[in-house]
Amino acid sequence: MLTDTEKIIFILLAATSLYIAYIHFNRMFRIIDRGAGELRYRELPGRILTGIAALFNQGNILRDRPATSLFHYAVAWGFILYVLVNIVDVFEGYIAGFHFLGDTIAHNIYLLIADILTLGVLIGIIYLIVRRFIAKAPALQIRENVKIMPEAIKGIPKDSLIVGGFIFVHVGFRLCGVSFLAAQEGGDVWQPVASSVAHVWYAFSFSQEALVAGWHVSWWIALGSILAFIPYFPYSKHAHLFMGPLNFMVKERGKDRAALKPIDFEDESVEQYGVARLSDLEQHHILDAYACIMCNRCQDACPAYVTGKELSPSALEINKRYYVRSNAKKLTTGENGDDLPLLEYAISEDAVWACTTCGACVDICPVANEPMVDIVHMRRNQVMMESAFPAEFKNTFQNLERNYTPWAFSHADRAKWAEGLDIPTVKDNPDFEYLYWVGCAGSYDNRYKKVSRAFTALLKMAGVNFAILGDEEKCNGDTARRLGNEYLANMMMLENVEILNGYNVKKIITTCPHCFNIFGKEYPDFNGKYEVIHHSDFLMELIKAGKLRVSKEQQKKITYHDSCYLGRYNSVYDSPRDVIKSIGGVNYAEMNRIRDKGFCCGAGGGRMWMEETVGKRVNVDRTEEALSLKPDVIGTACPFCMTMMTDGVKSKEKDEDVAVKDIAELLLEAMEDDGQT
């Protein structure tokens, strides 16, 4: 138990620590408040369980780096429990004979859990310190061609050492303090770790007075380290412990994390389109910087970074964080505190355009950060405010404006692919059940027109009541939107909605995942609410219903490449595989990076219309992985993926040995001859 003097000193120190911490936390949230929109604080009571789940499962980090994640779990869970442990320790210091939960079995179980987790925290933090400072794990490094603030280069290791050192000192001395108590009582079966340490004091023949003094010193170092650390908490990476769960709790309900919000161009009060500076970001995207663990998981998953580009999603969040740290006072007062564009310190212009919008960084982040969305918003600023974008996109935008497609083809030729196939338009078949949205690639790309023909042949075989828009179809707006030309995308989407609603469209089938995603996830913001089905799901439904009978065996080895917009964006993983596996004789083989860990083809985010000039080509990296299986066919379910994988196969001079085919083509080849083909 503490002396009266010690009690007074501790209260004064605690009050001082909490007051300074309040100032720093208040500054943190005032900076967040400078962002656009608002955090949904009023929804917090109803989302407590979401925050608790995020706190304890740590954003499901076990899906990646399992060994390191286990050590992190040990540290995190131990530290969460230590909130209670520290409160109990304070009561024990102030109240003689205090026992949490009394002299009950519950108290003993508490002691055992605290004892075991104490050991877990110490082992975990030692592992993490060794990993960063001795082993210098490559996953924690950021490549030299990536923009990173000098303050961050120096600050990250310093901050990691402070946080790691604090945890080790705090938990280590708390264990020492408990061991001194255990030594006074001759050991405690419910605290095996502390009792083991107590044997050290037995070995040195510590007197009763020395044990009491040891407890006092340990108590002060353990609890004093907390008082010293609390004011630093908002500045440290350790803030993710509570900012991460908060990030999950304030995200918009029912909104896909990768879905883009529209801009109200009718609002004349809006002077800034897109994001140029930190304060242009949504508030929860400023919160992202505080939530960031700096674990670089997003970086490992980013196809641009993996193939040598200047983009690191992690560096973007880290740079935002260190910019805030360096300019906290100015940002709080609002007096010229945010006059530096993000492109000056947070990310390079080349990195902004290197993003394929594959969503891997958003999906893998354990604290719900959305660096990809930041990048698209920065593209909006570059396109609509600065007119500063890669030269290749000038033709892309012009084609979209004039021809309603990214390609330089006449809009009048949009339905030529269907000539002679007796495919009904909405005017020919006004009572259609399904609208087949062909898409730009399915209408113009010579290779993918074969997929359109194959899929419509399958629809006719199955007796599906469908129609197409013909030359009334226009680009869905995805390319313009992901490239940052929101004004053009807005126009295209509104025009499409007018046409679709005019024909009373209820159900849409697409072969393109980009069409599938934007119609399903983003058109509802434009009053376009439809049931949208990807052809992989639809074909599998037809097979299960017996409307398509597969009998021809295909003695081929086939692997399947996941489309980011179909898989990661919409969780459609099984249907494409099941369609392939429904074909008899197929030897199906999986690549290493599949499903939610699938690797991008490199064409998303408008990259289809831009050359790669830095590092390895993304599609070549993915193609090499596919070719390592020695397949006969690489299966796809996306026109962009088909183009990129085909180019990749050609670049490796394997196009005579390996075919790239859509699942609709593979299925059509395996159909029966009894009137279905």
pLDDT attached to residue 253: 58
- pLDDT tens string 247-275: 988 877 555 767 888 999 988 888 899 99
- Co-location of 569 and 539 in the same domain: no
- pLDDT tens string 414-459: 999 999 999 999 999 999 999 999 999 999 999 999 999 999 999 9
- pLDDT tens string 166-220: 999 999 999 999 999 999 888 888 999 999 999 999 888 899 999 999 999 999 9
- pLDDT tens string 80-135: 999 999 999 999 999 988 889 998 999 999 999 999 999 999 999 999 999 999 99
pLDDT attached to residue 37: 86
For residue 168, being part of any structural domain is answered with yes
Give 238's pLDDT tier (boundaries 50, 70, 90).
Answer: confident
pLDDT attached to residue 176: 96
pLDDT attached to residue 339: 80
pLDDT attached to residue 337: 65
pLDDT attached to residue 335: 66
- Co-location of 433 and 498 in the same domain: yes
- Co-location of 80 and 203 in the same domain: yes
Query: What type of residue sits at position 9?
Result: I
pLDDT attached to residue 673: 54
pLDDT attached to residue 257: 66
Mean pLDDT calculated for residue range 40-45: 79
pLDDT attached to residue 537: 98
For residue 73, being part of any structural domain is answered with yes
Mean pLDDT calculated for residue range 585-593: 97
Last-in-domain residue among 235, 266, 293: 235
Percent of the chain with pLDDT over 90: 84
For residue 674, being part of any structural domain is answered with no
pLDDT attached to residue 38: 84
* Complete DSSP assignment for 290-328: HH-----HHHHH-HHHHTT-S--HHHHHHHHHHHHHHTH
| pLDDT beyond 60 at 676 | no
- Co-location of 662 and 589 in the same domain: yes
Task: Tell me the backbone φ, ψ of residue 499, rounded to 5 degrees.
Answer: -70, -50
Last-in-domain residue among 543, 559, 579: 543
Q: Tokens standing for 340?
A: 């530096």
Report the candidate in 404, 389, 286 with the shortest Cα–Cα distance to residue 28. 286
Give 44's pLDDT tier (boundaries 50, 70, 90).
Answer: confident
pLDDT attached to residue 552: 87
- Co-location of 517 and 404 in the same domain: yes
- Co-location of 513 and 555 in the same domain: no
Instruction: Identify the CATH number of the domain in which residue 108 sits.
Output: 1.20.950
pLDDT attached to residue 336: 64
CB-based burial of residue 451 (10 Å sphere; 0-12 exposed, 13-18 middle, 19+ buried)? buried
Entry pTM: 0.93
What is the residue range of 629's domain? 550-669
Q: What is the dihedral of CA 622, 625, 629, 633, to 10 degrees?
A: 10
For residue 177, being part of any structural domain is answered with yes
Instruction: Identify the CATH number of the domain in which residue 644 sits.
Output: 3.40.50
The residue written with tokens 């003993």 in the block is 108
Tell me the CB-side half-sphere exposure of residue 368, using CA atoms within 13 A. 27
What does the buried/exposed string (b/e) look like for 533-546 if buried means 16 or more CB atoms within 10 Å of the residue's CB?
bbbbbbbbebbeee
Identify the H or E element spanning 545: none
- Co-location of 179 and 69 in the same domain: yes
Percent of the chain with pLDDT over 70: 98
Last-in-domain residue among 509, 527, 543: 543
The C-alpha angle with vertex 249 and arms to 483 and 28, in degrees rounded to 5, equals 80
- Co-location of 532 and 598 in the same domain: no
- Co-location of 18 and 143 in the same domain: yes
For residue 338, being part of any structural domain is answered with no
Mean pLDDT calculated for residue range 291-318: 96
| pLDDT beyond 60 at 463 | yes
- Co-location of 531 and 574 in the same domain: no
Give 677's pLDDT tier (boundaries 50, 70, 90).
Answer: very low
pLDDT attached to residue 674: 46
Sign of the dihedral through C-alpha 23, 28, 34, 36: negative
- Co-location of 448 and 589 in the same domain: no
Least confident range from 30-44, 391-405, 493-507: namely: 30-44
pLDDT attached to residue 254: 55
For residue 86, being part of any structural domain is answered with yes
How far, rounded to the nearest angstrom, does the alpha carbon of residue 485 sit from its chain's CA centroid? 23
128/13 Cα distance (integer angstroms): 30
For the chain, what is the domain count? 3
Query: What type of residue sits at position 140?
Result: L
Report the candidate in 639, 638, 646, 606 with the shortest Cα–Cα distance to residue 622. 646
Report the candidate in 467, 408, 464, 465 with the shortest Cα–Cα distance to residue 440. 408
pLDDT attached to residue 514: 97
pLDDT attached to residue 585: 94
- Co-location of 531 and 556 in the same domain: no
For residue 621, being part of any structural domain is answered with yes
| pLDDT beyond 80 at 11 | yes
pLDDT attached to residue 639: 98
For residue 529, being part of any structural domain is answered with yes
